Each structure stands twice: as structure tokens, then as C-alpha cells.
Structure 1
């Protein structure tokens, strides 16, 4: 990095309009961090995530309306700015402003409260509501997992039907009957044979016998609550498709990415060698060598 570019970055950082938003973001992200980690887990519990989301939403909503929170954040930003000799300041308010928001304020702290604190808190609350709380009724479908059926009440079945009514072409009475059969079907199984994850449940449900439950679970499994899974896939592709493998085909890239992403799944090596050897006659040596080694 050149000295001129480093100097530009330093001048941009050592400004009060950078320090104060940084302090506000740090405070809000500390509240969101546990929820974010919960949502990024591979075996994320959506019901527990919704409970935590409601708690986080209430905390942020209360802080947004509490002047003492803003006063503490502003004082923290002023103290931090004083360590690098930066004085609190705000942009000049013009009568006719067209290039930026001309927030009216009679003091520096009021200006930053109206232009940074309130908009940022409102944005976070809106995102929590749109991405998570707005879909909370659909997440009730997690109670259809056999290990959670003991918590599935009639009221939750009603709420589940209302949430998926557009995807279920039957009446509520028919859906209730299907759910009762689903509960009875798993009550006859041993606990160790009950699926405990959404993916395992979807594999075990018969779409001919339980078409509506299969539809509900299919919709739920296609509703990612975060981008963590997609980001993991891109990370896998970056590790698999290196500069030494830049000419591999799409089929091989997809296969290697699946193997890398799901490396915890058991693999039948004999079946792999057999299928590979049967592809071409010159590969049969792999099959014979494998038998000899046994």
C-alpha cells in the first residue's frame, strides 16, 4: 500500500462522522451476535431462533426509545475521538441541500441522533421483522418433526394451516386428520428411530400417504433464514476450484464440491471403485487391485 493511499484511509478514519457510527454499530451488533451465530449453525433450531429474535427485537426497540442509551453511546464516541484529538462535529446545514440529507438539529448530538442513531435502529428492526418475524408462522412447521410432535397442539396446527393455506389445497379438517395420522404413526415407533432433523424427516415421509405434510416440510426446508449455507458453498468452490483445476468440467466440480461439503457422510468405497472401473474397460485394473488387496 502506498503512503498516499494509507494517508487517505487515515484521514477518512480520523473523523467524527466515522467514529460515531462505528460505536453505534458495535453496540447493536453485540446484541445481534448470539442470534447470528444461532442462525448460522447447520442444525439451527428455527423455533428457538424465533424466540431469540423476539427478545432481540424487544431489546433494540427499547433502546431505540431510551434517551439514556443514546447519551451513553454519544459520550463513548466523544471519549474515543478525544484519544486521537478529534473534536465532535456535524455537517453544515444548508437551506437548499440536494446532495445529502439536510437533517434539522440545534446541536451536534441531536444531529447525529436523528441522522444515524434512529435510522440505523429502525433499519435493524425492519430487517428483523421482514426476514425472521414475518415468517415466524411458517417456522411452526418444525413441530412436525417426529422428535417435536409432543409439542404440537391443536392451536399450532391451526396456525400452521393458516400459514401454508396457499400451498395446501385441502380444508382445515382434512389437514387436521392427516396430522393426527402423522402423530399416531410416529407414536408407534421407538424414540431412537425418530428423525430429529428436518432433512431426515423429509426423507422418511411418504408423499402419497402424507401429501400435505410433505408439501409443508418441502416449503420449510427451502426457506433459508440466513445466507450461511450459500456462503459455505462458495467457500467450498473457492477451495476446490484452484488455479491447478481451472479446466475441470461442471459435473466434476459439482461432485467434488458435494464431497467436500458433506465429508461427514459415510462413503461406500467399494461401490465407488466398482462404478469407476465399469466406466471403461481399461479401468478394470482398479477393480481387480481392490479385490486383491482384500
Structure 2
């Protein structure tokens, strides 16, 4: 038979093309039939049995009431025929037509054909039920809901069978495919066991990793790694993505969790490279790495960053700026008076936090005094996050008067002897004027760092913005030191007000004989004494530690890439030096020989403009890939340099919720997959693709031949 030829005119190129119905479509799609009269295709099952389905207000179109005649949309990923074959109503129509043949005229059907059709129908029914089972596992994983440990065949049906079994029972009431599958499935293949759950969990974890890895492609080939090593090493990937308007933005995703027996640099490096190799990304595309400041990670000789650089020389190490800030503050707080004040505040916190009775008494005193305090409980002093220190100090200053009264009451009432002794010691420590001065100095001297601490932990901050904000904070602390005489006058007013509330006399404690453990500065007044004894040394400590931790090296390739941002590109004096420092990226850029001319043109382009891009992402968006191909690649590389490793620490909370004492013996694959599902709860997961991946990975005759 010769199919009629139709002529179609292309709207874009105005070219006449000859198209016709293809015989191979009838072979590839057995449900497709051809109408000679209408010169088009129909779905025979859907055409005959569409009216038998319980569907209201359904309007039938192509392949049912209208023939399929648009030949160019026949095959392909989003074309008509394969898209129709995947629909639920098409599958239901096949089941309806097969049931009709088997129930009405079974003696007319060949026995071999009958059993073949029946087996195919059973497999189609099982395939339709499998996504429902996968959805149940996915729901439990996203909500971190324990699936239950009574999933064996020996379980008591009258007992509580766990969340997974209960969810399947609930879902089966409304989905006939799942209900039929559970009704006819063999008892040894119900696909509700813990083995099935583990297999689906692993497949879901692999799907999430493949989905993340697919974002790192030809348009954005480079990425940075952020790793936090504790008991379970967390690995994040940072890369550049583009939205629907082709606007670039920086994305950071949790990618893998590894349970390491030891946390030395060799083990961590091997785990990182193995993770990247399994994902199919390739370690050669790593252009940035960020870890905390521990020796095993940051050492330039035997640390993880040094071992990664031996494999990938262009993987520039960028220490976590948030950890730098914490180290600077902790070092500054080692000043004797400040350290003593922090110890006193921490002991007061433990005094009330370890005893619900004493905490209730504190709350009762606050209530009786009619105070309008928003927080009536003290905060702890976290060793790794200054944000919580700042909140703890401010909260302590807000309720220090009430704490002073409570300690005074406790030491005089008939409480336990040890409690009275502790209260008396804490009361005497707070009553010290040196403690009051140290607390006020600690709060005010580190107040400028509060905003930058929060900013450095955000996900969308870029490294240029981080450096700008850090420089401005250091400048603020330096201005406080320069104008310390006037600044301390305001601080001393606060000290006087606080001392008056606590009935503490403003005077210098007399020193008998020679002493070496306390400042003995000559001064004409109490204000002058504490300014030179406590405040100035502490501010000097803070300023020097900030400058040491955040010293920047101009020879670092990252610094050179940052100098190409239009906001500061006019300050580039010697383009030859810039090109020389970027030699390490010679293999990455398309034409390194033309980089000098590109930088010169790029500088001239932004010289006369008012609004200039101020970040790497904005520079990448403003950089034309055709006009500046080398700079476009360099800006992409700059965007993947991590600012902080705080984001890799957040999944530890999720892994702690997943790996409870009831799940302490689960495998690394299960833990990784469950944590990824819990962390990426908002990811759009195609359950049908997961079901197909499960069938390919675990072939079974219930679903395939």
C-alpha cells in the first residue's frame, strides 16, 4: 500500500516538504491503526473503549475522534505517539479491550496469544502499581518518617505495622491499580518488605544525585566542592545555573554523605574523589574547594586541600570565612578579663539550665517584677558560632539585674548547701566591677561583627561581596580604636547605669603588694583605669586578629579574577601582570592568546558607564560570550569559589534526625539516600522514571520479561 503524500510548507524557511504516513509506526506501536478513508492514524483501544471509562466531561481529540495526520510530530521525546502511549487513559483502554476479548469470545482466541496477552496485562498492571509504592517510600523519606521494622511476612496483621504499611493501605483505598496489585500479587512478591524499601531508597538517592549532577553540563562545566568533616562527612557542590531568562545564579546542593572510620586527610581525600568519580562529573572540573580551618583539611603540606590540588592544580582552596571570623573572635576573647567574664556568664547559664527548679524560680521572679522581657531563658555560648555568643551576651545583659536578685535570694534561703555555695560564688563574680566592664566591652566591641556573621552564613553570597563586607567591618573596628576616648565615654555611661542597678561601687580595687595576675595600670580615675586595663587591649586584640585572619594575597588567581569585576576593573594598572597570573587557566579558556586584548576592551567598555556590576554573577550576566569568550569562562570559574562551608554543616542536623538510635546500623547508601530525600524535600522527582530505573536495576518477571 502506498500512503498518500502531503505537502507541508515550513513557516520559518518557506520550504515545501513532502510528508506521509510511515509503515514503521504501525510496527512500533501495535495499538495504532491506519484509516485509508481519512488518511490518518487512530488508537484502536482508545477509539473503541473510551466511552466505557468513568470519565465525565471528557472531550476526545487526536487518535480518537480526529485522525493523526501531522507526520512531523510522530516520534520523539515529546511527540504525539510516545506521549500518548504513556498516558493513564491509554493504559486503561488497553486493559478494557483485553478484558472484553477474554470475557466475551474466549474460544476465538489462540491459547498462546491469550496467555501472552494476559501476561502482558498483568505486567502493565504491576507497572502502574509500582509508582504508587515508590511514592509511599518517597513520602516517608521526605518527611523523615520511620518506615517501621515489622515489614516481614511474619508480622501480625492486627498490630501496628508501621508508617509505610499504613500509607500503602490508605493509598490502596483510592487507587484501583494498587488495590488490584495487592490482591493478585504472590505472597512472596508483594513489594512491601524492608528489602524492597531499601532498594527503592537507594534508587531514589541515585536519582537525586543524577539530577544534581545533570546541572553541571557544557553550559556550566565547572564546580566547587564544600566538605565538612565530623563523624559523617558531608559533601556539597557549588556551580552556576541559568534560569528561564538565561540569568546566571549560584547554586549549592548537598550531594553526598560518607560515614568515615577516620577523619585524616588521606581518608577524606579518597572519599571526595571517589564520590566525584561515581557521579560521573570528573575531578578535572573542580575549580574551588572550601573547608574549615582544621589542620587535616587546611594544611598546605598534608591537608585535604593540598592533596586535592595535587590531582587538580586549578582547584584553588578558599578557607571558610565564617570559621575565620570565629577563630578571630575566640582568639580575641582569650584576653584575661574577657575570658573571665565569658566563664562567669557560661557558669550562670549552666546554673539555671541544669536545674529546672532554679529555672522556674528565675521565671517566677521575672513574672513578679512585671518585666516585659521577651526571653526569660539564658543562651549557651556555642564554641563555633559567634552569632549565638552575641545573642547570649545581649540576653545576659537584659536580665542581669534579675539574675543578681535571684542569686542573692538563693544564697540566703534554705536551699541545698551546694546550690547556695554556687549561687554565692556567682553572685560575687557578677558583683565585680571588672566583670561588668568586661561584659559591656564584649558586647559593644563585637557589635559591628553581628551582621557580617549572619551574612557569611547565607547561601547566595558571592566571594567579592563577602570580601567587601569584611573589609568594611575591619574599617569600623579600626575607627572605634582610633576614637576610643570618645567611644568609651558612651560605654562607661552604660557601665555606670548597670553598676547602679546592681549596687556596685565604681572604684578601682586596691592591690596589696606585688601582683602579676591583674592589670595594674596607673590612672587618675576609674574610667581611665578600665579603659587602659580592659577595653583598649581587647579592641586591639579584635582588630589584630581580624587583620591576620582576613589578610588577602594578591597573587592568588581568585584575587585576579575578582579584579576583573567592572566595579574595580578600572584599578587594574598592569594588564600584563594580570594575564601572567591567569596562566593557570590557559587550558580552560578558549583563546588565551587574546586574553590581553579582551581585558583591555572590557576595561574600556565599563569606563564611561555609571551603573557597574558589583559581583561575579552580575559580571557573568553582563559579559557577552561571543565578544569576551575568555572572560566569560573566568567569571564562571570565579562564581564556583565557595565563600563558606556553613551550608555543608546544615545537613548534619538532617543526618542526625535520620540516623537515630533505631537506625544506627543502617548502611551508608541507605543513610545517604534518606538524608538526600529529607534535605531535598522540595525537589521535583519523576516517580515514573524512578520506577523504570528500579525495574532496570532489579529486573523481575512481575514487571518485565
**With structure 1 as the length reference, what TM-score do the two structures score?**
0.64
Offset of residue 221 of structure 1? 4.0
Instruction: Give the whole-Å Cα distance in 1 for the aligned partners of 2:547 and 2:560.
Output: 16
* 2:543 corresponding residue in structure 1: 125
Instruction: Give the whole-Å Cα distance in 1 for the aligned partners of 2:695 and 2:574.
Output: 54
Offset of residue 43 of structure 1? 0.2
2:473 is the alignment partner of 1:56? yes
* 1:165 corresponding residue in structure 2: 581
2:660 is the alignment partner of 1:242? yes
Match of 2:447 among 6, 18, 30: 30
* 2:50 corresponding residue in structure 1: none
* 2:561 corresponding residue in structure 1: 141
2:637 is the alignment partner of 1:217? yes
1:236-290, CA deviations, whole angstroms, 9 ceiling, x for partnerless residues?
33333233322223333333334444444443333333334544457x87x79xx
**Distance 1:130-1:11 versus aligned 2 partners, 3 A rule:** same
2:470 is the alignment partner of 1:43? no
1:160-239 aligned at under 5 Å gives the runs 165=581, 168=584, 174=592, 177=595, 180=598, 217=637, 221=640, 223-224=642-643, 226=644, 228-239=646-657
1:272-291 aligned at under 5 Å gives the runs 272-281=690-699
1:84-136, CA deviations, whole angstroms, 9 ceiling, x for partnerless residues?
112235566577545x3544333543343234322322233234334445268
**Distance 1:241-1:180 versus aligned 2 partners, 3 A rule:** farther
Offset of residue 50 of structure 1? 2.9
Offset of residue 70 of structure 1? 1.0
Instruction: Name the count of aligned residue pairs.
Output: 260
Instruction: Give the whole-Å Cα distance in 2 for the aligned partners of 1:255 and 1:142.
Output: 37
Match of 1:85 among 503, 515, 530: 503
Does the aligned pair in 2 maintain the 1:93–1:104 contact within 8 Å?
no
**Distance 1:150-1:70 versus aligned 2 partners, 3 A rule:** closer
2:569 is the alignment partner of 1:153? yes
Does the aligned pair in 1 maintain the 2:440–2:494 contact within 8 Å?
yes
Instruction: Give the whole-Å Cα distance in 2 for the aligned partners of 1:179 and 1:264.
Output: 45
Offset of residue 54 of structure 1? 2.8
**Distance 1:54-1:281 versus aligned 2 partners, 3 A rule:** same
Offset of residue 81 of structure 1? 1.8
Provide the aligned C-alpha RMSD in A: 4.7
Does the aligned pair in 2 maintain the 1:20–1:77 contact within 8 Å?
yes
For structure 2, list consecutive stretches of 5 or more residues without a partner in the other structure.
Answer: 1-354, 359-418, 603-615
Offset of residue 40 of structure 1? 1.6
Instruction: Give the whole-Å Cα distance in 1 for the aligned partners of 2:684 and 2:426.
Output: 50
Bigger Cα Rg: 2
Question: 3-state SS of the aligned residue for 1:134?
Answer: coil
**Distance 1:213-1:108 versus aligned 2 partners, 3 A rule:** farther
Instruction: Give the whole-Å Cα distance in 2 for the aligned partners of 1:41 and 1:164.
Output: 34
Question: 3-state SS of the aligned residue for 2:446?
Answer: helix
2:670 is the alignment partner of 1:252? yes
Match of 2:531 among 109, 113, 117: 113
**Distance 1:38-1:159 versus aligned 2 partners, 3 A rule:** farther
Match of 1:68 among 471, 481, 486: 486
Question: 3-state SS of the aligned residue for 1:88?
Answer: coil
Which piece of structure 1 moves more, 34-43 or 251-260? 251-260
1:59-83, CA deviations, whole angstroms, 9 ceiling, x for partnerless residues?
2212112201112112211211210
Does the aligned pair in 2 maintain the 1:168–1:215 contact within 8 Å?
no
**Distance 1:259-1:90 versus aligned 2 partners, 3 A rule:** farther
Does the aligned pair in 1 maintain the 2:560–2:582 contact within 8 Å?
no
